[in-house]
Structure 1
Amino acid sequence: MSDRYEGKPFLKLLDSYVLAAIGHLDDPTEKWLVEAEPYFRDIFGAEGSWKDIVEQRLKMPEGGSAAILEVWEKGAIKYREHTGEDPHPVNFTHTLVDTNFPH
């Protein structure tokens, strides 16, 4: 099985951004992302936090994070109605990113 992020450092940031937006980014990953911000600024030629870098590269409008949360919350209701289970945050993230964002 291949690593989703092999050779795709921005994809890790993008998935993390979505997980953070829906409240499911774990603390160790958040800490690592903050510590790696100088590296991200260097390789992506951007300024600001890792979240700022994602928003800049995607030319995301203000409120993009809130829009992602809204999609998660509304989709979770429909998912529960159809399956009787809660949606999995990582599955949601991968589907959302792979369908809507270039990487």
Structure 2
Amino acid sequence: MLTNPRYDGQPLLRLLDVYVLWAIGELSQESEDGLKRMAPKLQSIYGGDGQWHDAIAQSMHMPEGMPAAIRDMWARNLKIARDNDVTLTPQKFAEMFVDENFVG
């Protein structure tokens, strides 16, 4: 996983960003593999069904349909960006989504 000052002292913030990337199908295989290895520890901390993304969802009390809602918002935001000749990267969307929906 990349080093980014955004995540200094905020490991859950990084996990939320990768959760969004996972939900929109933009998580790298390398990151997915690392998160699968972390799943037992994440489950012991946050709960869930043993999958890393379920532990994150449990930690934030996300509704069951959250991945689909994130995908819908991604599609809408991509269209808005294209209509305005703006590039919206998956990472930027993830950060915007997390900042707007999960960060105080």
Q: Could you state the TM-score of these two structures normalised by the residue count of structure 1?
A: 0.86
**What stretches of structure 1 move > 6 A for 4+ residues in a row?**
none
How many residue pairs align between the two structures?
Answer: 101
Gaps of 5+ in 2: none
Please point out which of 73, 93, 99 is paired with 1:71.
73
Q: 1:54 and 1:76 mapped to 2: Cα distance?
A: 25
CA 1:15–1:9: 2 relative to 1, 3 Å: same
Q: What is the percentage of aligned positions where both structures have the same residue?
A: 37
Q: TM-score, normalised by structure 2?
A: 0.86
Aligned counterparts, 1:52-67, within 5 A: 52-67=54-69
Q: How far did 1:81 drift?
A: 0.4
- Give the alignment's Cα RMSD to 1 decimal: 1.9
Answer 1 or 2: higher relative contact order, Cα 8 Å, separation at least 6: 1
1:74 and 1:57, CA in 2 relative to 1: closer, same or farther beyond 3 A? Answer: same
Partner-residue secondary structure (3-state), 2:88: coil
Alignment match, 1:94: 95
Per the alignment, residue 81 of structure 1 pairs with 83
CA contact (8 A) 1:21 1:68 kept: yes
